[in-house]
Chain A
Amino acid sequence: MTPTPKTCALCSKFRAIIKRPKTGQQICKECFFFVFETEVHNTITEAKLFSRGDRVAIGASGGKDSTVLAHVMKALNERYGYGLDLYLLSIDEGITGYRDDSLETVKRNQQQYSMPLKILSYDELYGWTMDAIVSQIGKKNNCTFCGVFRRQALDRGAAMLKVDHIVTGHNADDIAETVLMNIMRGDIARLGRCTLICTEGEDTIKRSKPFKYAYEKEIVMYAYFKRLDYFSTECIYSPDAYRGHARTFLKDLESARPSAIIDIIHSGEAFEVKEEVRKGQKAQQTCRKCGYMSSNDLCKACTLLEGLEKGLAEARIIDVGGRTGSHEMPPEEPREVTKLDPS
Chain B
Amino acid sequence: MPRKSKFDKSKTCIKCKTARGNIVIRHAVYCKTCFTPLVVTKYKRCLDPHINAAPDGQRRSTLKASGNLLIGLSGGLGSTVLLDITSRCYFSTKSSTEDGRKGGKAHPKNDRVWKQASVCFVDTSRAFSEGVTKDRSEDIRAMVEQHKEFEFIVLRLEDAFDISWWKQLGGYVPSSDIRANLANEDLVITEAHLQSSDPVASLRSYLSSLPTATAVRSSINTLARLLLLHTARSMQCSHLLLGTSLTSLSISLINSIAQGGGFNVLEESFEEWTPQIARSAQDASSDSPHLAGGVCTVRVVRPLRDIGMKECAAWAWWNGLQVVGKDRTFDPDGKQTIGGLTKDFIVGLERDYPSTVSTIARTCAKLAPKNEPDGQCIVCERPAQRGIQDWKSRISIRSLEPPSPHPPHVASDDPPPISLTPHLCYACHTTLISRSSRSTVQNGAEASLAPLPVWTRSALVESDAADVMGTKRLVDHEDMRNAIGEFLLHD
> Is A2 engaged at the interface, CB distance under 8 Å to the other chain?
no
> Is A252 engaged at the interface, CB distance under 8 Å to the other chain?
yes
Q: A144 to B359: give the CA distance in the assembly, Å.
A: 21
**A271 & B341 in contact (Cβ 8 Å cutoff):** no
**A10 & B260 in contact (Cβ 8 Å cutoff):** no
Q: A10 to B430: give the CA distance in the assembly, Å.
A: 21
**A267 & B261 in contact (Cβ 8 Å cutoff):** yes
Q: Which A residues are in CB contact (< 8 Å) with B385? A: 270
Q: A180 to B434: give the CA distance in the assembly, Å.
A: 21
Interface hits, B425-454 → A, CB 8 Å: 426-427, 430, 434-438
Best-buried of B262, B265, B399 by chain A (most CB within 10 Å): B262
Q: Which A residues are in CB contact (< 8 Å) with B379? A: none
**A188 & B366 in contact (Cβ 8 Å cutoff):** yes
**B434 & A270 in contact (Cβ 8 Å cutoff):** no
One of A20-28, A79-87, A95-103, A162-170 at the interface? A20-28
Query: Of the candidates B260, B395, B435, B437, which one forms a contact with A42 in the assembled complex, judged by CB atoms under 8 Å apart?
Result: B395
Q: A84 to B395: give the CA distance in the assembly, Å.
A: 23
Query: Of the candidates B256, B360, B369, B396, which one forms a contact with A262 in the assembled complex, judged by CB atoms under 8 Å apart?
Result: B396
**A191 & B363 in contact (Cβ 8 Å cutoff):** yes
CB-based nearest A residue for B263: A270
Q: Which A residues are in CB contact (< 8 Å) with B254? A: 180, 183
Query: Of the candidates A10, A258, A263, A268, which one forms a contact with B436 in the assembled complex, judged by CB atoms under 8 Å apart?
Result: A258
CB-based nearest B residue for A212: B395
**B370 & A185 in contact (Cβ 8 Å cutoff):** no
**B338 & A188 in contact (Cβ 8 Å cutoff):** no
**A183 & B257 in contact (Cβ 8 Å cutoff):** yes
Q: Which B residues are in CB contact (< 8 Å) with A11? A: 400
**A185 & B359 in contact (Cβ 8 Å cutoff):** yes
Shortest distance between the CB of B269 and any CB in chain A (Å): 13
Q: Which B residues are in CB contact (< 8 Å) with A31? A: 400
Q: Which B residues are in CB contact (< 8 Å) with A46? A: 394
**A259 & B337 in contact (Cβ 8 Å cutoff):** no
Q: A121 to B292: give the CA distance in the assembly, Å.
A: 73
Shortest distance between the CB of B414 and any CB in chain A (Å): 24
**B336 & A273 in contact (Cβ 8 Å cutoff):** no
Query: Of the candidates A23, A258, A267, A272, which one forms a contact with B368 in the assembled complex, judged by CB atoms under 8 Å apart?
Result: A272
> Is A277 engaged at the interface, CB distance under 8 Å to the other chain?
yes
CB-based nearest B residue for A276: B366
> Is A184 engaged at the interface, CB distance under 8 Å to the other chain?
yes
**B258 & A273 in contact (Cβ 8 Å cutoff):** no
**B341 & A252 in contact (Cβ 8 Å cutoff):** yes
Query: Of the candidates A23, A187, A263, A272, which one forms a contact with B430 in the assembled complex, judged by CB atoms under 8 Å apart?
Result: A263
Chain A-chain B contacts (Cβ-Cβ < 8 Å), number: 146
> Is B398 engaged at the interface, CB distance under 8 Å to the other chain?
yes
Query: Of the candidates A42, A183, A213, A272, which one forms a contact with B364 in the assembled complex, judged by CB atoms under 8 Å apart?
Result: A183
On whether A274 and B363 interact (CB within 8 A), knowing A184-B349, A257-B436, A269-B262, the answer reads no
> Is B214 engaged at the interface, CB distance under 8 Å to the other chain?
yes
Shortest distance between the CB of B254 and any CB in chain A (Å): 7
Chain A proximity mask over B412-426: 1 for CB below 8 Å, otherwise 0: 000000000000001
> Is B234 engaged at the interface, CB distance under 8 Å to the other chain?
no
Chain B proximity mask over A243-283: 1 for CB below 8 Å, otherwise 0: 00100010011011111101110111111111101000000
Interface hits, A177-197 → B, CB 8 Å: 179-180, 182-188, 191
Interface hits, B229-253 → A, CB 8 Å: 253
Interface hits, B339-370 → A, CB 8 Å: 341-342, 345, 349, 356, 359-360, 362-364, 366-370
Shortest distance between the CB of B126 and any CB in chain A (Å): 25
> Is B318 engaged at the interface, CB distance under 8 Å to the other chain?
no
Q: Which B residues are in CB contact (< 8 Å) with A249? A: 341, 345
Q: Which A residues are in CB contact (< 8 Å) with B356? A: 184
> Is A43 engaged at the interface, CB distance under 8 Å to the other chain?
yes
Total chain B interface residues with beta-carbon distance under 8 A: 51
CB-based nearest B residue for A274: B368
Q: Which A residues are in CB contact (< 8 Å) with B257? A: 179-180, 183, 264, 267-268
Q: A50 to B367: give the CA distance in the assembly, Å.
A: 30
Q: A264 to B260: give the CA distance in the assembly, Å.
A: 6
CB-based nearest A residue for B425: A270
**B260 & A266 in contact (Cβ 8 Å cutoff):** yes
Interface hits, A29-55 → B, CB 8 Å: 31, 34-35, 38-39, 42-43, 46
**B366 & A273 in contact (Cβ 8 Å cutoff):** yes
> Is B212 engaged at the interface, CB distance under 8 Å to the other chain?
yes
Q: A249 to B344: give the CA distance in the assembly, Å.
A: 10
On whether A186 and B395 interact (CB within 8 A), knowing A257-B214, A271-B368, the answer reads no
CB-based nearest B residue for A254: B436
How would you classify the secondary structure of chain A's contact residues: helix, strand, loop or mixed? Answer: helix
Best-buried of A22, A245, A270 by chain B (most CB within 10 Å): A270
Shortest distance between the CB of A36 and any CB in chain B (Å): 9
Q: Which B residues are in CB contact (< 8 Å) with A186? A: 359-360, 362-363
Q: A39 to B341: give the CA distance in the assembly, Å.
A: 30
Shortest distance between the CB of A338 and any CB in chain B (Å): 36
**B260 & A267 in contact (Cβ 8 Å cutoff):** yes
CB-based nearest B residue for A277: B366
Q: Which A residues are in CB contact (< 8 Å) with B435? A: 24, 258
Shortest distance between the CB of A274 and any CB in chain B (Å): 5
**A253 & B363 in contact (Cβ 8 Å cutoff):** no
Interface hits, A87-136 → B, CB 8 Å: none
**A267 & B395 in contact (Cβ 8 Å cutoff):** no
CB-based nearest B residue for A273: B366
Shortest distance between the CB of B63 and any CB in chain A (Å): 26
**B363 & A256 in contact (Cβ 8 Å cutoff):** no
Q: A188 to B363: give the CA distance in the assembly, Å.
A: 7
**B397 & A39 in contact (Cβ 8 Å cutoff):** yes
Shortest distance between the CB of B66 and any CB in chain A (Å): 27
Interface hits, B175-222 → A, CB 8 Å: 212-215
CB-based nearest A residue for B371: A270
**A184 & B338 in contact (Cβ 8 Å cutoff):** no
> Is B259 engaged at the interface, CB distance under 8 Å to the other chain?
yes
> Is B487 engaged at the interface, CB distance under 8 Å to the other chain?
no
On whether A43 and B260 interact (CB within 8 A), knowing A184-B349, A256-B338, A270-B426, the answer reads no
**A274 & B366 in contact (Cβ 8 Å cutoff):** yes
CB-based nearest B residue for A271: B367
Q: A268 to B257: give the CA distance in the assembly, Å.
A: 8
Query: Of the candidates A38, A43, A259, which one forms a contact with B434 in the assembled complex, judged by CB atoms under 8 Å apart?
Result: A259
Shortest distance between the CB of B430 and any CB in chain A (Å): 6
**A270 & B362 in contact (Cβ 8 Å cutoff):** no
Q: Which A residues are in CB contact (< 8 Å) with B262? A: 266-271
Q: Which B residues are in CB contact (< 8 Å) with A269? A: 262, 370
CB-based nearest A residue for B368: A274
Q: A38 to B391: give the CA distance in the assembly, Å.
A: 14
Q: Which A residues are in CB contact (< 8 Å) with B437? A: 19, 24, 258
**A266 & B397 in contact (Cβ 8 Å cutoff):** no
Q: Which B residues are in CB contact (< 8 Å) with A257? A: 212, 214-215, 259, 338, 434, 436
Chain B proximity mask over A134-163: 1 for CB below 8 Å, otherwise 0: 000000000000000000000000000000
B residues lining the A interface (CB < 8 Å) = 212-215, 253-254, 256-263, 265, 335-338, 341-342, 345, 349, 356, 359-360, 362-364, 366-370, 385, 391, 394-400, 426-427, 430, 434-438
Report the 4 A-B pairs with minimum CB-CB distance, sorted nearest first: A267-B262, A263-B260, A270-B262, A270-B263
5 contacts between A and B (CB under 8 A): A256-B336, A259-B430, A263-B259, A271-B368, A273-B366
Give me 18 other A-B pairs in contact (C-beta within 8 A), A24-B437, A271-B265 excluded: A10-B399, A11-B400, A23-B396, A183-B360, A185-B359, A186-B360, A213-B395, A213-B396, A249-B345, A253-B338, A256-B214, A257-B214, A260-B258, A263-B258, A266-B426, A267-B260, A269-B262, A273-B367
